[in-house]
Amino acid sequence: MAVVELPSFVRQDGREKVTGTARYSADLSTPGLLHAAVRLGGVAHARIRGIETARARALPGVVAIVTQADVPDLRYGTWVRDRTLFASDAIRWEGEIVAMVAATTEAIAREAAALIELDLEPLPPVVDLEAAIAPGAPLVHPGWAAYDGDARIPREGNVGSRHTIVKGDAEAALAGAPVVVRERYVADGSHALPIEPRAITAEWQGDRVTIQTSSQVPYLARTHVASTLGMPEGKVRVIVPHLGGGFGGKCEGHFEPHVAALARIARRPVRLAFDRREEFLAPDHHRERMVIDLATGVDHDGTILARSARILIDNGAYGADEPYLAQLAAVFAVGPYRIPAVATESLVVYTTTQPTGSVRGPVAPQVTWAVEQHMDVVAERLGIDPLELRRRNILVEGDEGPVRQRIGANGAKTALERAAEMIGWGRPLPADEAIGIATGWWPSFPGPSGAVVKLNADGSGTIVTGAQECGTGSVMALPILAAEVLGMRPEEFTLLYQDTDAGGWDAGASGSQTTFNNGRAVVSAATELRERLLALAAERLEANPADLELTDGVARVKGSPEAAIPIAELAAEAQGGRLLIADGSGDPPAVPEVDAGGCVGRLGGESFAAPCYFTQAVRVRVDRATGVVRVLEVAAAHESGTIVNPIGAEGQVLGGIVMGIGQALTEGTQLTPDGRQRNADMLDYKLVTAADAPPMRVEFVQVPDPNAGPRGLKGVAEPPAVPTPGAIANAIARAAGTRIRLLPMTAERVWADLADVEAGR
């Protein structure tokens, strides 16, 4: 199959976004629209004795107020049903929603929300992860035992779930290892922080509600609405206008049911649009705080003999997708290395802070930051070059993985060596500069997904897909796959997406899965159309369909270009009879077989289907007097299977690197002792900007994997954010002569460590 050349591939949504004509959720208006405002808890932990809305209701312009008393008494939660739509018995984090007001203007709604009186009895905050699991710690959910939950998840006290990866006898192997390194790393939380704060509009027609929302996962949002409001999914339509970024923070359902409930009470359409502070505090998704303990036993020649780990992961006040992610964390604690004895454990810990959940490559950046620093420490201890240590232990074809899965052909070692070559590993540098390297892996997530492809009478195509575009361009690239199957050009396809009434089901813009799964659906549908076109052409050309091909917009006999019919002619003919329309889903690729005996809290996928392997190398300069670190150069080598859309793939890597620089150096959720966020604004929560972006070089290593998606592709969105903090950490350690075991590695933390070194502490 020919590779589609893309010298000038233009995203269909690009012009609108660049010229400012694209309409986002908060831009929408409809007659009679009311404006909503939220009342958040404002305290980290308190019992609710009463909620008084009378003064708020009395404010002129207020139309409706909704609290838990106005919605079905149903608990929800992906893995444990630990939550209700609104806080009613207790407030468990400062951003927890207590009530929502609809009024004729946003200002009135906000004023009314502030007038709602909460009668609160303070409860002890639960913030520190170790203290939270200590005996006698105050419980975040005293009634947790009664919550419905996934039976596979062990939970106890403030431990919301526990997951282990066990292979061999790690403790015995550590005891017998010639060299053992034990370390602790601690990571602060951070935020997805899309430029677009979320906005949701709900409008009822009879018993059916249409919700326009800035969601990465419209079908999951639909399920969330239906399950929490006690109505059939068929009565809920979710539409996503242009989405101003998500980075995982808009995965899962969020406030769609709240706005729908409010609109039903108000009997008018209602729109909620968060301000920046609310976007920081209220979503039940931010990147996890962690305490990571690692121990590695190694032979003098650098052969890793054993790895044990315990990772405490902040769950926050309520469980989102953290149990599943925690299982991944226990795998990431092993790293993409050949280790015969493994005992890693992750505990998801309830605290009275903002719930955590998927943010671009969830759990992996922090764990990889720790593991890859740990690898460098092991190398230092052994006197082995860190690159060489990785080279000796990295997973290659035929190796046994952490759950005894057989590792297939992969580009891990090639990516490792390429990144090192690209950056000039080992070259002389000024005293305040150094190069660091980090490697990692990230699974593909096979799953169901649907799409419809149809050909119009003029020969153009339309793809109707359930996949959601979150800015990565993955949906925008679907025409490439369809065009390739049908011998057409990508720009001949229009896209209809982000409407749950239109496309087939899809898991949404999460887990780097769009091209992987929905690409398969599009190829499946296009392949059916291809067969129909060939059959039509075979009749006209009086040829065997097997002798025909679709190429350059025509159906023709292979080897006889003159015997050709334009696809448009066939499509026009079909319009007079059976239409050229096909749906596709296809069978998700397999997950490798596992032997996970001894593993606890298994939720599936721990053997990592079609993993991406990657290495990034960075050169940094450390300002020793101030602790400020600048990243001067990045080299990234990624094995993400076949690259279908080179422009889009490279863009994802560049963006992931820059996001990783922010996570590494400046982005961190700062908490007060009682667990409220101190820096919930963009002045004090420091994203890095384009000005901080160093020169970056990207290379893709392409290795076939039988479990990959169509054309051998894998996801590409999350992996680039994974190794960046670890690579920067290792570079800092070499340049500064001190290792920073706190994330983010802020200037002040680097400075404090340097001051300790100079003071001989």
Partner 1 sequence: MSRYLAPAGLEEALVALAGGARPVAGGTDLVVGVRQGRFPIPDDLVAIHRLAGFRGIAEGADGGLVIGAGTSHAEIVAHPRVTRDWTGLADASAIVGSPATRATGTLGGNVANASPAADTVAPLLCADAVIVCRSTAGERRLPLDGFATAPRRTLLRPDELIVAVELPAPAPGSASCYVRLEHRRQMEIAIVGAGALLRLEGGRVTAARVAMTALAPTVRRVPEAERILLGSDGGAAAVTAAAEAVAAAATPIDDTRASAAYRRAMAAVVTRRAIGGALARARGETVTIPASDTLFGAA
What does the binding site for partner 1 look like in residue numbers (CB under 8 A)?
432, 621-626, 628, 630, 665-666, 670, 678-679, 681-684, 686-692, 746-748, 751-752, 755
**Which C-beta is closer to partner 1: that of 151 or that of 683?**
683
Residue 30 vs 670, nearer CB to partner 1: 670
Q: Which is nearer to partner 1, 114 or 265 (CB)?
A: 114
Q: Which is nearer to partner 1, 580 or 680 (CB)?
A: 680
DSSP three-state, residue 52: strand
Residue 740 Cβ vs partner 1, minimum distance, rounded to whole Å: 15
C-alpha pair distances (Å), 254 with each of 150, 506, 676: 21, 17, 20
Single-letter residue type at 511 = G
**C-alpha torsion 664→666→667→672, nearest 10:** 120
Nearest residue (CB) to partner 1, 241 versus 662: 662
Task: Indicate the SS3 state at residue 412.
Answer: helix
DSSP state of 27: G
CA distance 268 to 204: 8
Q: Closest approach of Cβ 200 to partner 1, in Å?
A: 21
CB of 302 closer than 8 Å to CB of 382: yes
Distance CA 148, CA 75 (A): 9
Q: Closest separation between CB of residue 59 and partner 1, Å? A: 18
Q: By C-beta, is 190 or 746 nearer to partner 1?
A: 746
Least distance to partner 1 from the beta carbon of 427, Å?
19
Spatial contact of 273 and 39, defined as CB atoms under 8 Å apart: no
For residue 170 the two structure tokens come to 């790690």
For partner 1, the closer CB: 183 or 692: 692
* Distance in angstroms (rounded) separating the CA atoms of residues 727 and 661: 10
Q: Is 726 left (phi over 0), alpha (psi -120 to 50) or beta?
A: alpha
- Cα of first residue to Cα of last residue in the chain, in angstroms, is 63
Could you tell me the smallest distance in angstroms from the CB atom of residue 525 to partner 1? Answer: 45
Q: Helical H runs in 517-645?
A: 519-541, 567-575
Smallest distance from partner 1 to CB 760, Å: 17
Would you say 52 or 275 has its CB closer to partner 1? 275
Please provide residue 381's backbone torsions phi and psi, each rounded to the nearest 5 degrees: -60, -35
Across 317-432, the runs of DSSP E, i.e. the strands, are: 341-350
For residue 619, the SS3 value is strand
Q: Based on CB atoms, which residue is closest to partner 1, 524 or 666?
A: 666
Q: What are the structure tokens assigned to 708, written together?
A: 């990959």
Torsion of CA 362, 331, 344, 335, to 10 degrees: -100
Least separation, in Å, of the C-beta of 91 and partner 1? 22
Q: Give least dist CB 759 to partner 1, A.
A: 12
Nearest distance from residue 433's CB to partner 1, in Å?
Answer: 9
Q: Please, which residue, 151 or 690, has the CB nearer to partner 1? A: 690
Alpha helices in 427-518 (DSSP H): 478-486
How far is CA 444 from each of CA 512, 583, 664, 714, rounded to the nearest angstrom?
A: 7, 23, 24, 6
Q: Cβ 105 to partner 1, closest distance in Å? A: 12
Q: How far is the CB of 758 from partner 1 (least distance, A)?
A: 12
CB of 635 to partner 1, least distance (A): 21
Residue 13 has a CB neighbour count (10 Å cut-off) of 18
247 with 317: CB under 8 angstroms? no
* Of 213 and 666, CB closest to partner 1: 666
Nearer to partner 1, 274 or 318 (CB): 274
Q: Is the bond leading into 443 cis (omega within 30 degrees of zero)?
A: no
